[in-house]
Amino acid sequence: MLGKKITSICCIGAGYVGGPTMAVIAQKCPHIRVNVVDVNPQRIADWNSDNLDELPIYEPGLADIVKSTRGKNLFFSTDVSKGIADAQMIFISVNTPTKTYGVGKGMAADLKYVELCARQIADEAKENKIVVEKSTLPVRTAQSIKTILEANSSDVKFQVLSNPEFLAEGTAVEDLLEPDRVLIGGDQDEDGLEAIELLSEVYANWVPRERIVQTKLWSSELSKLTANAFLAQRISSINSISALCEKTGADVDEIARAIGADSRIGSKFLKASVGFGGSCFQKDILNLVYLSHHFGLPEVADYWEQVIKINDYQKHRFSKQIIDALFNTVSGKKIAILGWAFKKDTNDTRESAAIYISGQLMQDQAEIHVYDPKVTKHQMIKDLVYAGYGNEESISEKLFVHEDAYSASDKAHAIAVITEWDEFKTLDWTTIYDRMLKPAFVFDGRNILDRSNLTEIGFDLRSIGKG
């Protein structure tokens, strides 16, 4: 269809996926010009900032890659039309949040941004193009994209591929440089297979061929939702067992080690926690639940919905445990929250358990004192307002943000560790203990603290899944 190798790529959406993914493609494919475009001018200005600390996304190793490629073959721009017109291959990497209105509200993926991209591609394309779904999408979305493209453009031919992204935040660069697999789905006719091959050639610049998995379009789209559902299911499974551990005196970390040693189960994603967060697990499972209902499969929908229910239960259990331990009230008490990001090594806070836990405690009139190495106060307030815990003014009265863990926990009644930032493991816990009110409670929502050390110091330490 294109009849030649790819030398120009455009990516619509300069977010957590578009930015790092394109930076790595640019680094590994110096012969390809990579244009990342976005409607958000601030985001683009931040990607273009001279100060690499100001990149809109924090990921270990990312700034160095951007530094070595930006202005050479990697460009960030707000000119979406030109980006589309100049490229042979266009990645759609825009957000696909859960719908907040109308049919499918609270469940289905909101595809309005994807649809806008498809319409704009149809308007701007003057030559044949390969359109790549990088965003996570419901199965059969490619059909809708094709319909829009074909209905709005008569002379130009399009191929739509599905190439879902499996990177995890905090390890995005590592995951992109050495992916377990790259998945490419497309039509199985001559043009479809040619398009699959052209995209495979791009990745083959650094990914071993045997890790490039080629499938039918629908298998690729559904594999992405399935992968996230399986990963989240493991966390909910171990978290459900953590509740049982607390009742029986069993230790959830020992159980994870024991079952993970079985090669059929494997050891990854068995870390009990205060609940999974992040922009995708919940949204993608809700989407899977919605699709199952849509296709008349209520038993399948109920099965996957339980993964979300256990996650909500886990977050609720944690905040209730804090209130119960603090003599049934946190009113007027100072609670230090260590960590706001949904996991370590990222500044992303979407669906972070910290929002829910802090919101619950604030509703019980606690004073919340937070320290996170990467998240700003502005972001925390935004998160709490968005989650419905009050307005900016009411939240600002109860939320205090600190420069370090020592100041956050000074005269605190309790500390809750929500994010597993490495620095929390090596804090001077004796100093923290001396400055706290007694009894000094620590709720370790990640099971990262040294139990014998903290209990010896005098803390009343409550960990997840340890009776």
Q: How far is CA 352 from CA 365, 403, 442, in A?
A: 21, 20, 19
| 113 lies in the site for ligand UGA, by CB under 6 A | no
Work out whether 236 is an interface residue with ligand NAD (CB under 6 A).
Answer: no
Q: CA 69 to CA 80: how far, in whole Å?
A: 20
Tell whether residue 136 is a contact of ligand NAD (CB under 6 A).
yes
Cβ closest to ligand UGA, residue 167 vs residue 255: 167
Give the contacts of 44 (CB within 8 A, at least 6 positions apart).
14, 37, 38, 76, 77, 78
Name the one range near ligand UGA by CB under 6 A: 148-156, 268-276, 321-329, 408-416.
Answer: 268-276
Does residue 285 bind ligand UGA (CB under 6 A)?
A: no
Judged by CB under 6 A, the stretch of 32-40, 108-116, 167-175, 295-303 that binds ligand UGA is 167-175
Edge-to-edge strand ranges of the sheet holding 182-186: 74-77, 33-37, 8-12, 89-92, 129-133, 158-162, 182-186, 212-216
Compute the least distance from the CB of residue 124 to ligand NAD, in Å: 12
> Binding of ligand UGA at residue 124 (CB under 6 A)?
no
Tell me the residue type at 92. Answer: I
| 278 near ligand UGA, rule: CB under 6 A | yes
Answer for the pair 414, 325: CB distance below 8 angstroms, yes or no. Answer: yes
How many CA atoms, within 13 angstroms, populate the side-chain half-sphere of residue 285?
23
Q: Is 3 exposed, middle or buried (0-12, 13-18, 19+ CB in 10 A)?
A: exposed
Tokens read off for 181: 């697999």
The item of ligand NAD, ligand UGA, none sharing an interface with residue 133, based on CB under 5 to 8 Å by kind, is: none
CA 338 to chain CA centroid, nearest Å: 19
DSSP β-bridge partners for residue 368: 335, 399
Our CB check for ligand UGA shows the closer of 63 and 231 to be: 231
Instruction: Give the tokens for residue 234.
Output: 């493991």
Q: Is 134 in the site for ligand UGA (CB under 6 A)?
A: no
| Helix (H/G/I), strand (E/B), else coil: 156 | coil
User: Does position 343 bind ligand UGA by CB under 6 A?
Assistant: yes
Closest separation in Å from C-beta 167 to ligand UGA: 5
Pick from 73, 95, 287, 419 the residue near ligand NAD by CB under 6 A. 95
Q: Enumerate the active-site residues.
A: 165, 224, 280
Amino acid at 264: R
Q: Kindly tell me which residue out of 23, 29, 117, 160 binds ligand NAD, with binding defined by CB under 6 A.
A: 117
Rounded Cα gap, residues 383 and 380, in angstroms = 5
Question: DSSP 3-state assignment of 237?
Answer: helix
Among ligand NAD, ligand UGA, none, the one that 276 touches (CB under a kind-dependent 5 to 8 A) is ligand UGA
21, 228, 447, 463: residue in contact with ligand UGA (rule CB under 6 A): 228
Residue 6 near residue 197 (C-beta atoms within 8 A): no
Q: Binder to ligand UGA among 93, 136, 162, 223 (CB under 6 A)?
A: 136
Binding residues (CB under 6 A) for ligand UGA: these are 136, 165-169, 228, 231, 235, 269-271, 273, 276-278, 280-281, 342-343
Binding site for ligand NAD (CB under 6 A): 12-18, 38-40, 43, 80, 93-96, 113, 116-117, 135-136, 165, 167, 169, 279-280
